[in-house]
Amino acid sequence: MTETKARAGESMPSAQTPAAEAKAAMTGFLSEFNRFQDDVKSTLKHQEERLTMLNAKTMAYGRPALSARAEVEAPHQKAFNAYLRSGDDDGLRGLTLEGKAMSTAVAADGGYLVDPQTAERIQSLLLSTSSLRSIANVVQVEATSFDVIVDRSEVGSGWATEAAATTESATPVIERISIKLHELAAMPKASQRLLDDSAFDVEGWLAEKIATRFTRAEASAFINGDGVDKPKGILLPTKVANASWVWGQVGYIPTGAAADFAPTNSVDCIVNLVYALGADYRANAAFVMNSKTVGAVRKMKDADGRFMWSDGLAAGEPARLMGYPVLVSEDMPDVGANTYPIAFGDFRAAYTIAERPDLRILRDPFSAKPNVLFYANKRVGGDITDYAAIKLLKVAVS
């Protein structure tokens, strides 16, 4: 009885309210969620560290690096790469080139236009070489020829008074020069085994090979081309003593010796050549000569014993002769009797190169087995467009 009363006198715990229960449940949920987030972050960090380690190892062995996300290629670039490697042209059919309202297919010859990225890479390689292209005026056209309109006379003018009649001024002389575009081709080859190698940069290799072949062909034509299925070179027009120069001809300055530079005061002919060019052209002028001629010219000194030649002070800067840049072109003739080993002028005004922007490729896996031939071609032309903007040095007494 006593025990029963004692128990009846003890205080009983109060029941928990619904609000308190909800608060406790929410606290537990948030705690579990935070632990879950920490576990996910830890797992992702571990995977990222492992991927970085694998990339470092694959790069060390010369293999292509792993990518954390899939590479997204332009449809044409991906399809063009497949065409170069295996000849699969399904992906190219029906596509259009970026920025051009035309199909990638080239009718009648089975070739395909090069994708813009590869074409730009080829263009940059062409510009970086020792070719007249790097200092001439280059234009892109969509036609088979390019016409240049040249006003080769000054518009007449005179002083006028209030009372006197105004005299009629001279009529300007307009010249039209038509530059015909010719086909320039290159045909590099690679083994199919090399093309099958996924680590092989087939587009980069192709761009370099095409640019090398084009550079050699262009450089020769821009200097010595006769205009027959190739551009007209700067040495093609009739050449006359500068004192007798007229439009349509190229004026020259003699060296003063029959087969070489003059034995005394040899630098005088270089000075005469510079000042034979009009002052308005000299500001942007440059010399063009080959390596053998460079070897002779850089030994020349003025009357005070100072060398006329100076090497570039910074990497990539051209050497200078009398303060003017020198382009070394191996297609210029050597010093010899009646040759023209040095050209001097404002070539951006003097010579124009016209070309079509599209470049096409035809893949040939049959003609040179086990190699695959790539026939690349484009249209290009060139001609002198300002005969007053260029002068030549002739190895002759007069």
In angstroms, rounded to a whole number, what is the distance separating the alpha carbons of residues 348 and 283?
12
Tokens of 121: 């890479």
Question: Could you write out the DSSP letters of every residue in 135-151?
Answer: TSEEEE-SSSEEEEEEE
In angstroms, rounded to a whole number, what is the distance separating the alpha carbons of residues 120 and 359?
10
Q: Please give the CATH topology (third level) of the domain spanning 239-356+383-394.
A: hypothetical protein PF0899 fold (3.30.2320)
Q: How many C-beta atoms lie closer than 10 Å to residue 208's C-beta?
A: 15
- The residue extents of the domains of the chain are 239-356+383-394
* pTM confidence score: 0.71
Cβ atoms of 392 and 250 closer than 8 Å: yes
pLDDT at 38: 75
pLDDT at 153: 67
In angstroms, rounded to a whole number, what is the distance separating the alpha carbons of residues 141 and 355?
6
The residues of the chain scoring below 50 in pLDDT are: 1-11, 13, 61-63, 65-72, 97-105, 107-108
Helix (H, G, I), strand (E, B) or coil at 161: coil
Of 214, 208, 218, 207, which is closest to residue 132 (Cα–Cα)? 218
* Alpha helices per DSSP H over 255-290: 268-276, 279-282
Buried b (16+ CB within 10 A) or exposed e, 54-84: ebeeeeeeeeeeeeeeeeeeeebeebbbebb
pLDDT at 11: 47
pLDDT at 72: 40
Question: Could you write out the DSSP letters of every residue in 61-78?
Answer: TTPPPP-SS-----HHHH
In angstroms, rounded to a whole number, what is the distance separating the alpha carbons of residues 285 and 200?
43
pLDDT at 281: 96
pLDDT at 35: 77
CA-based end-to-end distance of the chain: 149
Cβ atoms of 138 and 381 closer than 8 Å: no
Q: How many C-beta atoms lie closer than 10 Å to residue 201's C-beta?
A: 12
In angstroms, rounded to a whole number, what is the distance separating the alpha carbons of residues 368 and 144?
32
CA 110 to the chain's CA centroid: 27
Condensed to tens digits (0 to 9), the pLDDT of residues 71-86 reads 445 666 677 777 777 7
In angstroms, rounded to a whole number, what is the distance separating the alpha carbons of residues 134 and 383?
15
DSSP state at residue 335: S
Tokens of 1: 């009885």
